[in-house]
Structure 1
Amino acid sequence: MSAKGGQVRVMRVKDWTHPVRAVRREVLTATPEVDEGKPPVLFVPGFGHGAWAFTEHWLEHTASRGFPAHAMSLRGHGGSGPAPEATLRAYTHDVAQVAASLPRQAVLVGHGAGALVVTHALARYPARAGVLVAPVFGGWGTAGVALLRNPVGTLPAIFGGRLRLSRRQLFSRELPDAAARGYTGRLGRAGKRAQWQLLTHREPEPAVGNPPMLVLGSPDDRVVSAAALGRAARRYGAAPLLFPGMGHDLMLDARWREPIDAILDWLDKER
C-alpha cells in the first residue's frame, strides 16, 4: 500500500508479476458550473452497457447538483478498446485506475454486474463512498433465476455466448417502446471469461477505509430478485432503497430522476 497525492493505492504481487494489459478507456465527463467542493462521482456500467447508459440522463443531472460526474466504459464496452478475453480482474483494474486519476477522492457507483466490479475496486481504491445500483453479484442462483425468466437469452451466455437481455427485463412498461428498442439495440457483450467468472467469482475483499455504502434497486427488477437485492444490502448492514415499478436499468427507465436524486441526496448528507 502506498500514498501519492493524498490517495492510497493498494498493490498486490500479481499486479507486478502479471500486470493487466493496457487498453484505451472511454471516460465521459460533465462538470458543474460552479465548483462546490463536492466529490466526483464515477459511474460504472454493467455488462453489455457503456458510458452512454449514464450520459442519457444521470451524468448531466449529477453535474447540475454540483457533483463532478464521470461515466466510464469497461474494456470491450462502449468506446473503450476491444478486449474479448477480459476478466473481472481487468475490469476492476480499469475502475481503480480511472478513479485514481480523478483530482479528488471519488464516489464509485456501479450498476448491475458493474456493482460487483465496484465492490472489488473498493478493496483497491479508498473511495469516498460506494453505491450499488441493482447489483448483480452472480453465482449459480442468479443464473437459475435468469434462466427461468429469459432462457433463450441466458443459456448461450453460460456456454460462452452472448447474454441477451430483453426489453421486459430492463425497463418498465412506462418507457416508450421506441426508447426501449433503442437502448437494447446498443447493448454489447462482456468478455467470455468475465461472464463465466460472474458465476464462479470469489467474494470481494473488504473495502479500503470502510466507506459508507448505499444499495438501491427495484422490487420489480426482472434481473435481480428482491431477495438478492436484500442480501446485497445486508452485506453492508442496511436495507435496500427501493423504487417500485422500475426495471433493472434504473438510469434509463421512465422515472430515472427518482433514484439519482436519492443517491445525490444521500451523498449530500454523507459529506
Structure 2
Amino acid sequence: MTERVMRSWEWARPVRPVRREVLSAVPELEEGRPPLLFVPGFGHGAWAYAENWLGHVAARGFSAHAVSLRGHGGSDPAPEATLRAYAHDVVQVAAGLPRRAVLVGHGAGALVVAHAMARYPARAAVLVAPVLGGWATFGTAVRRNPLGTLPAVFGAGLRLNRKQLFSGELPDADARRHAARLGRAARRAQWQLLTGADPEPAVGEPPVLVLGSPDDRVVPASALTQAARRYGSAPLLFPGMGHDMMLDARWREPIDAILDWLVKDPSRDDRG
C-alpha cells in the first residue's frame, strides 16, 4: 500500500520563486554515475564546495553541483526564508538534474537535505557534520558557543569562530579568507533549526551515510552517533578535523570516503 502525504499548506502558501546560484564541475568522460548535489550549511554558499570538493569529485568521474540556498552566496536575497524554502531550493535544483541525485548536506545543510528527502527520491544522501536541529542542538550550541548562539535567538546571525570551523592544520590565511565569506541565514530558518520538529520520513528509504569529526567543536561525537542511528548506521569519523571538513587542511579524506561509499555501497540502486 502506498502512503500519500497531503500538504495542503504548500498549495495554499507556495514557496516564493528565486534565482539560485548553482556551481558545477563535470567529468571529461560521462560514465552514467549519479550526480552529487552539495548543500551548504547556514552562512555558507556554493563557494564552500567549489574551493576543493567539486573539482575533485569531477576528477573521480562524478558530476558535481553545489547550490547556494536563497539568501546565501550568489542566490537572491531572502531575509524571511524558512527551512521549508531552503528544502524547496534543493528539491528544485535536484529535479533539474539529468539523473536522480545524491544529496550531500553539511552542518545545517544536512537538516535541509533531511527535509528535502521527504519530497525528492534521492539516490542516496550524505550528512556531513550534521546539525539536525531541535532543543538538544540548541543546548549544545549554547554551552559550546554562548556568545555566538544566544544572539541568534533574538534575530541576530549565528557566529562561529575559527577554532570551531577549522583545525589547527589549516593555515591562518586560509581560515581568515574562508571566514570572511560567511554570511547569515534567515532569522526564521535559524529559529526553526534550534527548535524545529524532526523531518518527515525520506521517500523510498535511500541509503544514508553520516560522517564527521570527533574533534568538531560544533557537533559533538554523541550527535554524530545519534544522527547515524536515525538512519540505521554508525558514523564515519575523521579525527583531527574541524566542522568545515570541505575547507579544512585534510579535505580530501572525507570526500574520497564519500565517493568510495557511493561506488561500493551494495544497497545503491543503479537505475535512473
What TM-score do you get using the length of structure 1 for normalisation? 0.95
Aligned AA (1:72): V
Q: For 1:172-226, what per-residue CA distance to the aligned partner results, in whole angstroms no more than 9, with x for missing partners?
A: 0000011001111110000000000011211111111111110000000000011
CA contact (8 A) 2:118 2:200 kept: yes
**Counterpart residue type for residue 148 of structure 2:** G
> What is the alpha-carbon distance in structure 2 between the residues aligned to residue 11 and residue 171 of structure 1?
42
Whether contact under 8 Å (1:11, 1:124) holds in the other structure is: no
- Displacement of 1:15 in angstroms is 2.3
Tell me how far apart the structure 2 counterparts of residues 171 and 98 of structure 1 sit (CA, whole Å).
29
Q: What stretches of structure 1 move > 3 A for 4+ residues in a row?
A: none
**Deviating more after overlay: 53-62 vs 142-151:** 142-151
Q: How does 1:153-172 map to 2 (within 5 A)?
A: 153-172=148-167
Distance 1:47 1:252 in 2: 15
TM-score w.r.t. structure 2 length? 0.94
Which one-letter code corresponds to 2:43 in the other structure? G
Give me the whole-angstrom Cα distance separating, in 2, the residues matched to 1:11 and 1:33.
42
Deviation at 1:268, TM superposition (A): 0.6
Q: How far, CA to CA, are the matches of 2:184 and 2:6 in structure 1?
A: 29
Counterpart for residue 116 of structure 1: 111
| In structure 2, C-alpha distance between the alignment counterparts of 1:98 and 1:119, rounded to whole Å | 15
In structure 1, the partner of 2:174 is 179
Shift of 1:12: 3.2
Equivalent pair of 1:113/1:135 in contact (CA under 8 Å): yes
Structure 2 residue aligned with 1:260 = 255
Aligned to 2:196: 201
What's the CA shift string for 1:116-153, capped at 9, x where partnerless?
01001001000100100000012222222222222221
Secondary structure of the corresponding residue to residue 43 of structure 1: strand
Q: Give aligned pairs, total.
A: 263
Q: Deviations over 1:242-266 (max 9, x none)?
A: 0000000000000000000000000
- Asked if residue 23 in structure 1 is aligned to residue 4 in structure 2, the reply is no
Which letter does structure 2 place at the counterpart of 1:15? E
Question: What is the deviation of 1:11?
Answer: 7.3
Identical positions, percent: 77
Distance between the aligned counterparts of 1:158 and 1:18, measured in 2? 25
The 2-side partners of 1:49 and 1:58 are apart by 14
Once residues 195 and 137 of structure 2 are traced to their aligned partners in structure 1, the CA distance between those partners, rounded to angstroms, is 11
